[in-house]
Amino acid sequence: MNKSLRLTEKWMGRALWLVAFIFAGFLIGLGGKIVENLWDVEAPLTVEQFMDPQRLGELKTQLGAAQHKQREARAALEQAEQAHGVARSNTASARATFDNWLATRRATARPDQDTELITRTKALDALEAEERQALAAIDAQRQAMLDATQQAERVEARWEALESPAVQAHYEAARAKELRVFLYRLALTLPLLVLAGWLFAHKRKSTYWPFAWGFIIFALFAFFFELVPYLPSYGGYVRYIVGIVVTAVAGRYAILSLQRYLARQKESEALPDVERRQTMRYDLALQRLSKSVCPGCERTVDLKDGSIDYCQHCGIGLFDRCGCCNTRKNAFARFCFSCGTAANTTLAD
């Protein structure tokens, strides 16, 4: 990642960052798929797996029978209720007819000998007996339904007794499975993070840096975003602990590089002018000058003041005179802007 002043180089650098992000994006997609499928490595767990299969089978049969009985009793009850309704309305209408007939009938002196009255009364009695019978049928079906319901309840109670330890076992097994899957994921993502650290330390400035950075972005994303949401309880701890470790390592690295930089700077400021110039990169020197910063010590200098030729902080020459035409020129320029003569200073590219 040269801080270049060349336009094409600058744009190519940006394009390479784009490559890094696209590369990271595809890696994240692939990694996400793999992590997602890790849950399916193990078969899904059910509570019934943790129940005695023989007793479970018995209970299932009993429960099925009880529920069947319940259904049958309910259907029979509905039928009986319907039949009772019909019988009741038959009786009611027959009684209404009888009452009407009785009201309009010219009463005789001896009703007990009135055969029609006797026939009608008997018919009414028969209808009432039918109604009572229908009511009795309802009661019988209600009893049958109650029996079936109670039987089903007893089987369900036994089922629950069998199930409750299984629920606990299932919960524990599910937790264990979660932990295992989490460890698979950790085993997959932690090496990625370590590899990313190595790439950062050794390859981030290599020719193929976009791939190194793409991988680093991917590894960070995979570790801190894909690993954690599945398991808040374990994942949270791991995220924070690894986050602390990574921050500590990165912080130590930053502190050491700052110290190294300061030491290097001090060392180079002690060197003679020409030698300091030779260790400097041309583009970087020009870039710093364009920001009114001394290329040697990175402190601000007033470049517009025509009388200042040297940095007042570190003493490096900022302006000199062309050996050929004696024009005052930038001491870091490779050629005299006035006559084109090559300057005697040579800066690294």
In the complex, the residues that contact Zn ion under the rule CB under 5 A are 294, 296-297, 311, 313-314, 322, 324-325, 336, 338-339, 341
Instruction: Check if the beta carbon of residue 126 is closer than 8 Å to that of residue 90.
Output: no
Nearer to Zn ion, 185 or 329 (CB): 329
Return the amino acid letter for 137: A
- With 0-12 CB in 10 A as exposed, 13-18 as middle and 19+ as buried, what is 213? buried
Nearer to Zn ion, 170 or 277 (CB): 277
Nearer to Zn ion, 151 or 341 (CB): 341
Nearer to Zn ion, 238 or 336 (CB): 336
**In the bound complex, what is the minimum distance in angstroms from residue 228's beta carbon to Zn ion?**
48
Return the amino acid letter for 40: D
Is residue 8 helix, strand or coil? helix
Nearer to Zn ion, 37 or 307 (CB): 307
Tally of CA atoms within 13 A in the half-sphere of 18 that contains its CB: 6
How many C-beta atoms surround the C-beta of residue 170 within 10 A? 18
**In the bound complex, what is the minimum distance in angstroms from residue 320's beta carbon to Zn ion?**
11
Nearer to Zn ion, 249 or 324 (CB): 324
Instruction: Check if the beta carbon of residue 55 is closer than 8 Å to that of residue 162.
Output: yes
**In the bound complex, what is the minimum distance in angstroms from residue 224's beta carbon to Zn ion?**
41
- 168-173: long-range contacts, CB 8 A cutoff, minimum separation 24: 169/50, 170/45, 170/46, 170/47, 170/49, 170/50, 173/45, 173/50
Q: Which residues contact 189 (CB under 8 A, 6 or more apart)?
A: 31, 35, 219, 222, 223, 226, 227
**In the bound complex, what is the minimum distance in angstroms from residue 276's beta carbon to Zn ion?**
10
**In the bound complex, what is the minimum distance in angstroms from residue 301's beta carbon to Zn ion?**
7
**In the bound complex, what is the minimum distance in angstroms from residue 314's beta carbon to Zn ion?**
3
Distance from C-alpha of 233 to C-alpha of 179, rounded to nearest angstrom: 10
